[in-house]
Chain A
């Protein structure tokens, strides 16, 4: 993959608003954002209601994903362009999720909803219904998803990238600062993890930095060995999906997994090692 395969800009989206083979989908943490205004013809994906199993802590299964995309009027042949708030955190999570279920024709709108709004581009409240489709998903591709035992076994052996803010990494904060600091799990980070906050990969307007800047950030500044497998994590797996997107899709690293259990799982496990304090 490369930047041109995985990213589109706002001008491209405006030129394809009426393209029948292109489906825009807004994915947000604040799911009321879509209702207040969205890009014309975009469908809404609620990252919690639509993408999470209602009982277990896990994804919706293959059947559930097929039902979701069919109901949103998305077919296997459509190019899906994802965008959202929070600098595309949840859109990147959905991108990773679409890839996991085998939808290759998926792209992110660079800068997401924020850049679109800051450029005063059109947002509408009207919802344009799409006819129902019959979507068929592939079996989940777990080569891009890490689970807890694999993460524990990776300590000191593979690249572990903690993409949370330095204050969450050190244990000063338990969650991003737009959320109340309430949690039962222990603060800190996985031993040997390098702290490369997701925000270092993005400009203030939410767009991704250049490939050269990104390569320098991970390889030179953070000292990531691109010859090793890499696992990225954050708190619940959405910001690390943003970093997975950078490493796997923009920089073309094939051996990268997102650990969506992330700190809310790891920081609650009994008996696993935890480190406190700032990055060395």
Chain B
């Protein structure tokens, strides 16, 4: 399993990829952190390079999220209580797990 940034995936993040053939997927995965702690109440949404909505997931218990995208440029938007909305641009490709950790 490759890892774009060399950081090991957490338990929830690893579970999301169990049994998945990574060579056929363009994975975007990350964690949301606030004041050093994982944010488990919130959402991550994926937008395409035109700004259109592609997918959304609730954050996991460890603040984690996983998307199965396609090669190209995507925006991860994190929504959290208190009106938080933070964007991160990522570049995905088949056979890679692109890590995007978001501090809010």
Task: List residues of chain A with CB under 8 Å of any chain B CB.
Answer: 30, 33, 85-87, 114, 117-120, 165-167, 172-173, 175-182, 197, 199-200, 204-205
Task: List residues of chain B with CB under 8 Å of any chain A CB.
Answer: 20, 24-25, 41-43, 45-46, 48, 50, 52-58, 66-70, 77, 79-81, 85
Find chain A residues with CB under 8 A from B66 CB. 178
With A173-B54, A178-B46 given, can you name 9 additional A-B contacts, CB distance below 8 Å? A30-B58, A86-B56, A117-B41, A117-B42, A165-B53, A167-B48, A181-B24, A181-B70, A204-B85
A181 touches B68 (CB 8 A): yes
Q: Which 5 residue pairs of A and B lie closest in terms of their CB atoms, listed nearest first?
A: A199-B53, A177-B55, A178-B55, A176-B55, A177-B67
Number of A-B contacts defined by CB within 8 Å:
72
A178 touches B24 (CB 8 A): no
The answer for the CA separation of A204 and B46 in the assembled complex, in Å, is 12
B58 touches A199 (CB 8 A): no
B54 touches A85 (CB 8 A): no
Q: Can you list 5 residue pairs at the A/B interface with Cβ under 8 Å? A: A33-B58, A114-B43, A120-B41, A178-B66, A204-B79
The answer for the CA separation of A200 and B66 in the assembled complex, in Å, is 23
B54 touches A181 (CB 8 A): no
Find chain A residues with CB under 8 A from B69 CB. 173, 177
Find chain B residues with CB under 8 A from A180 CB. 20, 25, 68
Closest-CB distance, B52 to chain A (whole angstroms): 5
The answer for the CA separation of A118 and B81 in the assembled complex, in Å, is 4
The answer for the CA separation of A176 and B56 in the assembled complex, in Å, is 9
Find chain A residues with CB under 8 A from B57 CB. 178
- Give B67's nearest chain A residue, CB to CB: A177
B48 touches A85 (CB 8 A): no
- Give B61's nearest chain A residue, CB to CB: A36
B70 touches A85 (CB 8 A): no
Find chain A residues with CB under 8 A from B80 CB. 118
B48 touches A118 (CB 8 A): no
A117 touches B81 (CB 8 A): yes
B58 touches A177 (CB 8 A): no
- Give B71's nearest chain A residue, CB to CB: A172
